[in-house]
Amino acid sequence: MTKNENAGFLAVPELSADVERVYAADVEQFGFVMNLSRMWAHQPAIHDGLFDLMGQAVKAGSLTFRQRGILVVACASTLGDWYCSLAWGKKLSGVAGADLAASTLRGNDDGLSPTERMLARWARKITRDPSSTETRDIQRRARRPARSRAERDRSGGRSRRRHLRAIGRRMNGARRDEQRIGNLRVRQTPGDQRENLGLPRRP
């Protein structure tokens, strides 16, 4: 590195072998030094420890790079973190295509497999309200694959048709009631009507 530039409001860290290593990894992978790496360069040892921990978690969960990308972009976009959304959206597009990465960032999971949809929806839920998640959320998502948009549309259409039929039945019943009341009024004399209401007949 021949030139250091500030990372936002942070001062430039003093160059060292560890700082150069962090910068060099970015240049090799991206062709430039990311602002996030300039921040981490203040504490390279903490950077190494954190990323080693995340690597262990990914390995323990047997996650593929694609699955990890889906988790990160679903979480970052829900949180409103556009820095990570852009960085990991680019990574995800490299293994899954730009269309799938963009749709996942928008919250549209139609292009994902059932397992990937479960991961994306779980990531969004724990990002929005982590305290509301329960064991049954995992069990329900593991048992029942998420439906595609076409399946949701068909189900929604069936629900709307059932709702309309129920409204029609109620309207038909109301019309029959009106007819019965009208017939009763025609057959009854005014005296009968007063008696039905509990009033004495007029002389």
pLDDT of residue 135: 77
Q: Would you state the structure tokens that stand for residue 12, as one six-digit string?
A: 């430039």
* Sign of the four-CA dihedral 21, 24, 38, 49: negative
Q: Which residues on adjacent β-strands are paired with residue 7?
A: 10
Of the given ranges (51-60, 102-111, 114-123, 193-202), which has the lowest mean pLDDT?
193-202
- Tokens found for residue 19: 């700082």
3-state secondary structure of 126: helix
* 168-177 confidence digits (pLDDT tens): 666 666 666 6
Residue 99 has pLDDT above 90, yes or no: yes
Q: How far apart are CA 192 and CA 182, in angstroms?
A: 14
User: Distance between CA atoms of 128 and 132, rounded to whole angstroms?
Assistant: 9
The tens digit of pLDDT for each residue in 10-61 reads 788 888 999 999 899 889 988 888 888 888 889 989 988 998 998 898 888 8
Q: Are 88 and 74 in contact (CB under 8 A)?
A: no
Would you put residue 80 in left (φ > 0), alpha (ψ -120 to 50) or beta?
left
Say which DSSP state 31 is in.
S
List pLDDT tens digits, range 48-63. Answer: 899 899 889 888 888 8
DSSP lists the bridge partners of residue 10 as 7
Q: Is the pLDDT of residue 1 over 50?
A: no
- State the DSSP string of 40-101: HTTSHHHHHHHHHHHHHHHHHTT--HHHHHHHHHHHHHHHT-HHHHHHHHHHHHHHH-HHHH
Q: What does pLDDT average to over the chain?
A: 78
Structure tokens at 175: 């019309």
